[in-house]
Amino acid sequence: MDIKKFVQDLLVVETTRLNKRHFILELLAPEKFPLILPGQFAQALVENSPTTFLRRPFSIHSVDYQKNTLRLLIQIKGDGTRHLAGLKAGDHLNLIYPLGNSFSLPFTKDVLLVGGGCGVAPLLFLAQFLNQSQIYPTILLGFRTKEEVSEIEEYSKYGKVLITTDDGTEGEKGLVVDHSIFQRERIPFKKIFCCGPDAMMKAVAKIARMHRTDCEVSLENTMACGFGVCLCCITPTDKGNERVCVEGPVFNINRLKW
Amino acid sequence: MPDLSINIAGLNFKNPVTTASGTFGYGDEFLDFMDLGRLGGIFVKAVTGKNRDGNAYPRMAETASGMLNSVGLQNKGVDHFCREIYPRIKNFNTHIIVNVSGSTVEEYIEVAERINELDKIPAIELNISCPNVKLGGMAFGTVPAMATEVTAEVRKVYKKVLMVKLSPNVTSITDLAKAVVDGGADVITLINTLLGMAIDVERRRPVLSTITGGLSGPAIKPVALRMVWQVHKAVHVPIVGLGGIMNATDAIEFMLAGASAVQVGTANFIDPTISVKIVDGIAAYMDRHNIKKTTDLVGALKTE
């Protein structure tokens, strides 16, 4: 589906610090949003940072069509994201959006969302979207530690939330794939949507294959343009090298060389 | 309004602003962002004889004021271009120029011959300067005798405007410029990317899968400007200048150094509307300096 893309200055409504490494930017668009689908992302321009030359891609965390706002969940990794963390209400942020494909609408109600670290970002939007089709997913979220566990009340509005922390300070101890729901002979899900670090997604994909469960993952990749012209962010698929920014970021694991 | 149009080797461009191959896809990726008809021209993604998958990931590294890439001419080949892409882009209201690449002289000839048959393509840009392919590519652009040969062979089969894109990875850019003019080039495009590399110290590994790649962006602008200036003094064919152009001021610098037109490249990734802003910026500059036509800017650098 072709969704019109915009280059736009959005107004920063609020910057909310979730913990040491993560924050949420709430942004108001100057005109009515186009249709934005879960899994799509935005390319943010970092101004006045001498070390940040290219835009930075972020999954869209949620969209409020009434207020015409969207939210980005961002992990502070370097100068660019540190600069974005300093944006205040009233500042502007230039975005190219909405970019990429989206998670598909599943033909089942037995849906599991799995997110790790910053990879939880698109899953809130996805859960909201699934609710509109009367699908109430199980949402498994992995964090490093209790201090980073955030927005659980928000996720809980849209599905049943399960938590793991690496150090066991909240939820079950370990990685998401160590969670007890995966330790059963048969898992009660017919579709898994997953976003997080590559190693985590590969581990989830392995479980999905073992249980013959359909699984889509949202890939992270170093991007220059984000809209399909630089051919930098490729991933090998059954159709050769495909662009994560256009043919992705969401891929069914059957199409990847994993 | 100043007259922005400019004639290059008999081809009339509505303004001197074009977009660089490999940074603008086939143009249609930008339809949401701008009216392509406002551009002087579009240099579309490199076309080779056969399908190429390009290099392995990672293909990109951000660097100070620039980026390295090692895409490796990924494209679906000239057949696919003629059959699938040309019909959908041929009616854009701007010059569509095809970047022709290859690994052998025969491949360059094959692609040029096929593109020669396409009515709505008024020119090709022979890419003898890609640093990211193992065979051919940059080799043709670093040895003057080879540059003359490949240009001359393509000249025999290509009847329209022949542009040749030079590599900056040479000791003497003017030797290469003279070599391609000897081979029959109508226009020289320069510069392609500078060979560079980046290292991930934590992993003690190169960032790019190919170890080295092509550096682009404002980091290379001073080098590009110097080369345009040197080539402008050395040969008498028109020059299309590129390398790190981010705004109208940069574009005007290239024109003053001797470029008849410019290509906007890496800047398209950061602001997909930048090329039309550069058109407007050049017009504003000409107004401010009471310059009536773009030709008066070309090579107008005062050095006394």
Query: Domain of A86: which CATH number?
Result: 2.40.30.10
Q: Is residue A167 part of a domain?
A: yes
For residue A3, what pLDDT is reported?
A: 81
Give B242-268 pLDDT, tens digit per residue: 999 999 999 999 999 999 999 999 999
Give B270-300 pLDDT, tens digit per residue: 999 999 999 999 999 999 999 999 999 999 9
A229 in B contact zone (CB under 8 Å): yes
CATH code of residue B199: 3.20.20.70
Q: Is residue B303 part of a domain?
A: no
The span from the CA of A217 to the CA of B73, in Å, is 28
* Mean of pLDDT values over A43-55: 91
Instruction: Output the average pLDDT for chain A.
Output: 95
Pick the residue of B57, B65, B210 with the most A CBs within 10 A to test the interface with A by mutation.
Answer: B57
Give B79-100 pLDDT, tens digit per residue: 999 999 999 999 999 999 999 9
Q: Is it the case that residue B169 has pLDDT exceeding 70?
A: yes
Chain B residue numbers with beta carbons less than 8 Å from the beta carbon of A54 are 62, 67, 269-270
B270 in A contact zone (CB under 8 Å): yes
Taking an 8 Å cut-off on Cβ atoms, the answer to whether A232 and B59 are in contact is yes
Give A80-124 pLDDT, tens digit per residue: 999 999 999 999 999 999 999 999 999 999 999 999 988 899 999
Are A66 and A143 found together in one domain? no
Taking an 8 Å cut-off on Cβ atoms, the answer to whether A231 and B59 are in contact is yes
Q: Is residue B1 part of a domain?
A: no
B66 in A contact zone (CB under 8 Å): yes
Are A66 and A133 found together in one domain? no
Q: Is it the case that residue B135 has pLDDT exceeding 70?
A: no
Q: Is residue A226 part of a domain?
A: no
Query: Which tokens belong to B39?
Result: 């551009």
For residue A118, what pLDDT is reported?
A: 84
Q: Is residue B304 part of a domain?
A: no
Among the three residues A99, A129, A144, which one is the final residue of a domain in this structure? A99
Taking an 8 Å cut-off on Cβ atoms, the answer to whether B268 and A235 are in contact is no
Are A192 and A116 found together in one domain? yes
Are A51 and A143 found together in one domain? no
The span from the CA of A29 to the CA of B201, in Å, is 40
Are A141 and A72 found together in one domain? no
Instruction: Output the average pLDDT for chain B.
Output: 95
Are A214 and A115 found together in one domain? yes
* Mean of pLDDT values over A204-212: 95
**Tally of domains within chain A:** 2
How many contacts, defined by CB atoms under 8 Å, are there between A and B?
A: 87
Q: Is residue A258 part of a domain?
A: no
Give B30-62 pLDDT, tens digit per residue: 999 999 999 999 999 999 999 999 999 999 999
Give A164-187 pLDDT, tens digit per residue: 999 999 999 999 999 999 998 889
Q: Is residue A239 part of a domain?
A: no
Q: Is it the case that residue B132 has pLDDT exceeding 70?
A: no
Among the three residues A47, A66, A99, which one is the final residue of a domain in this structure? A99
Query: Which tokens belong to A101?
Result: 């494909």
Half-sphere exposure of B286 (CA within 13 A, CB side): 26
pLDDT-derived band of residue A50, with 50, 70 and 90 as boundaries? confident
**Tally of domains within chain B:** 1
Among the three residues A99, A132, A147, which one is the final residue of a domain in this structure? A99
- Write out the E strands in A47-145: 56-64, 69-75, 92-99, 111-116, 138-143
Q: Is it the case that residue B178 has pLDDT exceeding 80?
A: yes
pTM (2 d.p.): 0.95
Q: Is residue A250 part of a domain?
A: no
pLDDT > 70: percent of chain A: 100
For residue B129, what pLDDT is reported?
A: 79
The span from the CA of A171 to the CA of B199, in Å, is 39
The span from the CA of A6 to the CA of B125, in Å, is 31
For residue A52, what pLDDT is reported?
A: 93
Q: Is it the case that residue A1 has pLDDT exceeding 60?
A: no
Are A93 and A170 found together in one domain? no
For residue A99, what pLDDT is reported?
A: 97
Chain B residue numbers with beta carbons less than 8 Å from the beta carbon of A53 are 62-67, 217, 270
Are A132 and A205 found together in one domain? yes
Query: Which tokens belong to B301?
Result: 């650098």
pLDDT-derived band of residue B133, with 50, 70 and 90 as boundaries? low
Are A115 and A212 found together in one domain? yes
Domain span at B290: 6-296
CATH code of residue A123: 3.40.50.80
A54 in B contact zone (CB under 8 Å): yes
For residue B134, what pLDDT is reported?
A: 60
Domain span at A93: 6-99
Helices (H) and strands (E) in chain B, counts: 10, 16
For residue B294, what pLDDT is reported?
A: 96
Are A43 and A131 found together in one domain? no
Q: Is residue B36 part of a domain?
A: yes
- Dihedral sign for Cα A215, B207, B23, B132, please: negative
Which of A233, A222, A53, A229 is CA-nearest to residue B23?
A229
Q: Is residue B302 part of a domain?
A: no
Q: Is B130 in the active site?
A: yes
pLDDT-derived band of residue B139, with 50, 70 and 90 as boundaries? confident
Chain A residue numbers with beta carbons less than 8 Å from the beta carbon of B272 are 7, 96, 225, 227
Q: Is residue A136 part of a domain?
A: yes
The span from the CA of B66 to the CA of A71, in Å, is 29
B45 to chain A: closest CA residue = A229
